[in-house]
Protein backbone atom coordinates (compact mmCIF):
# COMPACT_ATOMS: atom_id res chain seq x y z
CA UNK A 1 0.00 0.00 0.00
CA UNK A 2 1.46 3.41 -0.93
CA UNK A 3 2.66 5.43 2.03
CA UNK A 4 3.56 9.00 2.82
CA UNK A 5 7.02 8.70 4.35
CA UNK A 6 7.41 11.83 6.49
CA UNK A 7 6.66 15.51 7.04
CA UNK A 8 8.55 16.55 3.88
CA UNK A 9 6.32 14.23 1.81
CA UNK A 10 3.23 15.83 3.36
CA UNK A 11 4.47 19.35 2.63
CA UNK A 12 5.46 18.40 -0.91
CA UNK A 13 2.06 16.83 -1.58
CA UNK A 14 0.37 19.92 -0.18
CA UNK A 15 2.33 22.18 -2.54
CA UNK A 16 1.57 19.92 -5.52
CA UNK A 17 -2.12 19.79 -4.65
CA UNK A 18 -2.23 23.59 -4.67
CA UNK A 19 -0.40 23.75 -8.02
CA UNK A 20 0.78 20.54 -9.69
CA UNK A 21 2.55 22.59 -12.36
CA UNK A 22 4.73 24.49 -9.89
CA UNK A 23 8.38 24.33 -10.96
CA UNK A 24 10.66 22.13 -8.89
CA UNK A 25 12.97 25.09 -8.25
CA UNK A 26 10.05 27.03 -6.75
CA UNK A 27 9.00 24.07 -4.57
CA UNK A 28 12.62 23.72 -3.48
CA UNK A 29 12.70 27.34 -2.31
CA UNK A 30 9.32 27.07 -0.57
CA UNK A 31 10.31 23.96 1.36
CA UNK A 32 13.98 24.98 1.82
CA UNK A 33 15.15 21.65 0.38
CA UNK A 34 17.58 21.01 -2.51
CA UNK A 35 16.04 20.62 -5.99
CA UNK A 36 17.50 17.13 -6.33
CA UNK A 37 15.74 16.04 -3.11
CA UNK A 38 12.40 17.40 -4.37
CA UNK A 39 12.84 15.60 -7.71
CA UNK A 40 13.76 12.33 -5.97
CA UNK A 41 10.76 12.62 -3.63
CA UNK A 42 8.34 13.29 -6.48
CA UNK A 43 9.72 10.33 -8.43
CA UNK A 44 9.42 8.06 -5.37
CA UNK A 45 5.87 9.26 -4.63
CA UNK A 46 4.89 8.58 -8.25
CA UNK A 47 6.52 5.13 -8.33
CA UNK A 48 4.93 4.09 -5.03
CA UNK A 49 1.49 5.18 -6.17
CA UNK A 50 1.01 7.96 -3.62
CA UNK A 51 0.89 10.33 -6.60
CA UNK A 52 -0.96 8.53 -9.36
CA UNK A 53 -1.17 11.37 -11.84
CA UNK A 54 -1.73 15.02 -12.51
CA UNK A 55 -4.87 16.52 -13.90
CA UNK A 56 -6.69 19.69 -14.81
CA UNK A 57 -9.55 20.26 -12.38
CA UNK A 58 -12.64 21.42 -14.26
CA UNK A 59 -15.12 21.54 -11.40
CA UNK A 60 -16.79 19.37 -8.82
CA UNK A 61 -17.88 15.99 -10.05
CA UNK A 62 -21.30 15.70 -8.48
CA UNK A 63 -21.42 11.94 -9.09
CA UNK A 64 -18.38 11.26 -6.90
CA UNK A 65 -18.56 12.32 -3.29
CA UNK A 66 -15.19 12.50 -1.55
CA UNK A 67 -14.63 10.64 1.68
CA UNK A 68 -15.04 13.22 4.42
CA UNK A 69 -14.83 13.05 8.18
CA UNK A 70 -15.40 15.58 10.93
CA UNK A 71 -12.85 15.39 13.73
CA UNK A 72 -13.23 17.17 17.04
CA UNK A 73 -10.08 17.58 19.12
CA UNK A 74 -9.55 18.50 22.72
CA UNK A 75 -6.06 20.01 22.95
CA UNK A 76 -3.47 21.09 25.50
CA UNK A 77 -3.80 24.89 25.32
CA UNK A 78 -0.05 25.44 25.82
CA UNK A 79 0.60 23.54 22.59
CA UNK A 80 -2.29 24.88 20.51
CA UNK A 81 -0.23 27.16 18.21
CA UNK A 82 2.23 24.39 17.38
CA UNK A 83 -0.66 21.96 17.00
CA UNK A 84 -2.31 24.19 14.37
CA UNK A 85 0.99 24.28 12.44
CA UNK A 86 1.12 20.48 12.56
CA UNK A 87 -2.48 20.18 11.33
CA UNK A 88 -1.65 22.53 8.44
CA UNK A 89 1.01 20.09 7.25
CA UNK A 90 -1.60 17.39 6.50
CA UNK A 91 -2.90 17.91 2.95
CA UNK A 92 -5.93 15.78 3.83
CA UNK A 93 -7.11 18.36 6.39
CA UNK A 94 -9.24 20.80 4.40
CA UNK A 95 -10.55 22.89 7.30
CA UNK A 96 -9.20 23.58 10.77
CA UNK A 97 -11.15 25.81 13.14
CA UNK A 98 -10.82 26.57 16.82
CA UNK A 99 -14.15 26.30 18.60
CA UNK A 100 -15.63 26.81 22.03
CA UNK A 101 -17.27 24.13 24.11
CA UNK A 102 -16.34 20.58 25.02
CA UNK A 103 -13.77 20.40 22.21
CA UNK A 104 -11.22 22.99 21.09
CA UNK A 105 -10.65 22.23 17.43
CA UNK A 106 -12.88 21.23 14.49
CA UNK A 107 -11.31 19.54 11.46
CA UNK A 108 -12.77 18.53 8.12
CA UNK A 109 -10.58 15.85 6.59
CA UNK A 110 -10.75 14.29 3.14
CA UNK A 111 -8.53 11.24 2.76
CA UNK A 112 -8.21 9.90 -0.75
CA UNK A 113 -9.99 6.67 0.17
CA UNK A 114 -11.90 5.31 3.11
CA UNK A 115 -9.10 2.81 3.78
CA UNK A 116 -6.71 5.72 4.52
CA UNK A 117 -9.00 7.27 7.13
CA UNK A 118 -7.96 5.01 10.03
CA UNK A 119 -4.23 5.66 9.54
CA UNK A 120 -4.86 9.38 9.18
CA UNK A 121 -6.91 9.51 12.39
CA UNK A 122 -4.18 7.60 14.24
CA UNK A 123 -1.59 10.05 12.94
CA UNK A 124 -3.61 13.14 13.90
CA UNK A 125 -4.37 11.90 17.41
CA UNK A 126 -0.69 11.04 17.98
CA UNK A 127 0.36 14.68 17.46
CA UNK A 128 1.71 16.12 20.73
CA UNK A 129 -0.93 18.30 22.35
CA UNK A 130 -3.96 16.28 21.26
CA UNK A 131 -5.68 15.16 24.46
CA UNK A 132 -8.68 13.34 22.97
CA UNK A 133 -10.70 13.17 19.79
CA UNK A 134 -14.09 12.29 18.40
CA UNK A 135 -14.64 11.60 14.72
CA UNK A 136 -17.62 11.08 12.46
CA UNK A 137 -17.75 10.07 8.81
CA UNK A 138 -19.85 12.39 6.64
CA UNK A 139 -22.54 10.33 4.91
CA UNK A 140 -23.84 13.09 2.62
CA UNK A 141 -23.84 16.83 2.23
CA UNK A 142 -27.36 18.17 1.94
CA UNK A 143 -26.32 21.71 1.00
CA UNK A 144 -23.39 24.09 1.22
CA UNK A 145 -23.57 27.86 1.33
CA UNK A 146 -20.33 29.54 0.41
CA UNK A 147 -19.55 32.54 2.54
CA UNK A 148 -20.76 35.69 0.76
CA UNK A 149 -18.13 38.21 -0.26
CA UNK A 150 -18.05 41.24 1.98
CA UNK A 151 -16.54 44.62 1.10
CA UNK A 152 -12.82 44.47 1.74
CA UNK A 153 -12.52 40.65 1.59
CA UNK A 154 -10.34 40.77 -1.49
CA UNK A 155 -8.13 43.47 -0.07
CA UNK A 156 -9.51 46.03 -2.46
CA UNK A 157 -9.77 49.67 -1.42
CA UNK A 158 -13.45 50.57 -1.25
CA UNK A 159 -13.11 54.24 -0.33
CA UNK A 160 -14.98 56.66 -2.58
Say yes or no to pLDDT of 90 above 90: yes
Say yes or no to pLDDT of 1 above 80: no
pLDDT tens column, 24-75: 999 999 999 999 999 999 999 888 888 888 877 656 555 556 789 999 999 9
Query: Do 131 and 76 form a contact (C-beta atoms < 8 A)?
Result: yes
Q: For residue 58, what are the contacts with CB-CB under 8 A and spacing of at least 6?
A: none
Is residue 124 classed as helix, strand or coil in its secondary structure? helix
Amino acid sequence: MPRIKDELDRKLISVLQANAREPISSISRKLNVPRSTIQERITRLERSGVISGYTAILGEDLNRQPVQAIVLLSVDQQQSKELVKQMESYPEIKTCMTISGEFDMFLVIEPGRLEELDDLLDSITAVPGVVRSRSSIVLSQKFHRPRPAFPGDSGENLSL
